[in-house]
Amino acid sequence: MENVLIVYAAPEPKSLNGALLAAALKTLTDQGTCVEVSDLYGMKFKAVLDASDFPNRWDTTVFDPAAEQIHAIATDSIAPDIATEIEKVRRADLLIVQFPIWWTSMPAILKGWFDRVFAQGFVVNVGTGEVYGRGLLRGKKALVVVTAGSPAELYAPGGPHGDLHELLRPLTHNLLQFCGLEVLPTHVVYNAAGIAPDDADREVEMYQDRLLAIEA
């Protein structure tokens, strides 16, 4: 891989997520990889898709987000903060999406990033069937990296919370694979809320090993 984009949605730099991010940056850059980070909380990224994202509206009488995205991509007239993120995605060979599990899903700021940046006409063309294997991001890979506060047994198949991998399927399958990305197996750190320092260090090392294996 030459270029990696890490979309990072965790609010506390001194958390386990912060340590995982720092480890990824060092591991990948030491391998000669160019790494960009979109730290959504640090950027104070606007999470709400609305009419202000489209300065050159296709239709000012009624707001149709999909139609406005298609028009904005075709005319290169989307909001500047979205355009910046789109260029990062274009450059990336691997997209790493990292976040803590909140209410069995992603933080709202990350969902907003996908709503705004994964614009129709850029990631898919639904009308022409350019989705899944024909999605416009085909040829790129994606890795989802999550921390879960609960132990693994609570997220096991048949467990009280349900299978974590199935809970993440709307992201891994209906979103990332829908856009043509090859989705690698999710990297999960369980019991993050009560993890001991030594265990946290081991989790960081295992994540570094995972990244090196992808590089290899």
Catalytic residue numbers, as ranges: 149, 155, 161
Residue 6 is encoded by which pair of tokens? 């890490």
Whether residue 195 contacts residue 147, with contact meaning beta carbons closer than 8 Å, is answered with no
Owner of token pair 């980070």: 37
Eight-state DSSP code of residue 159: S
Per DSSP, what are the bridge partners of residue 7?
A: 38, 97
Residue 186 is encoded by which pair of tokens? 């999710």
Residue 28 is encoded by which pair of tokens? 């990948």
Eight-state DSSP code of residue 186: P
Whether residue 52 contacts residue 80, with contact meaning beta carbons closer than 8 Å, is answered with no
Write out the DSSP string of 39-73.
EHHHHT------GGG-SS-S-SSS--HHHHHHHHH
